[in-house]
Amino acid sequence: MAKLKLKAHHIDRDWCKGCGICVRFCPKHVLQLDDREKAYAAHPEKCIGCRLCEMRCPDLSITVETEEEGEKS
């Protein structure tokens, strides 16, 4: 299987309630809360596309868009 590469984190700021679940459990510490307590991708280059943030987000506000490495978008 080709390796997954991150394309973008889509985080709906209106839906995010800043609970911090995505921040705590991201295995690569990609996400952080900003000064308004909304999640954002502070280190997108470290993302491995595991989608655990997307799966656990109780506000349905995160979508991780990935593509296969080498694929042209």
Partner 1 sequence: MASVKEYIRERFFPHIWCPGCGHGTVLKSLITAVDQLGLSKNDIVMVSGIGCSSRIAGYVDFHTLHTLHGRALAFATGVKLSKPQLRVMVPMGDGDALAIGGNHFIHAARRNIAMTAIVMNNRIYGMTGGQFSPLSGYGKAATTAPYGNIDHDFDVVQLAKAAGASFVARTTTYHAPQMVEILKQAFTHKGFAVVEILTQCPTYFGRKNKMGEAPDMLEWFKENTTPIGSQAKQKNPSLIERGVFVAEEKAEYCTEYEKVVERAMKGRE
Cα→Cα distances 27→3, 14, 34, 38, 42, Å: 17, 25, 19, 19, 14
Residue placing its CB nearer to partner 1 in the complex, 5 or 52: 52
Choices 1-9, 27-35, 38-46, 60-68; region in contact with partner 1 by CB under 8 A: 60-68
Question: Each residue of 33-42: b (16+ CB within 10 Å) or e?
Answer: beeeebbbbe
Residues 13-42 that bind partner 1 (CB under 8 A): 14-15, 17-21, 23-25
Residue 55 touches partner 1, criterion: CB under 8 A: yes
How many residues bind partner 1 (CB under 8 A)? The answer is 20
What is the signed CA dihedral for 39, 9, 44, 56, rounded to 10 degrees?
Answer: 60
Residue 52 touches partner 1, criterion: CB under 8 A: yes
- Least distance to partner 1, CB of residue 30, Å: 15
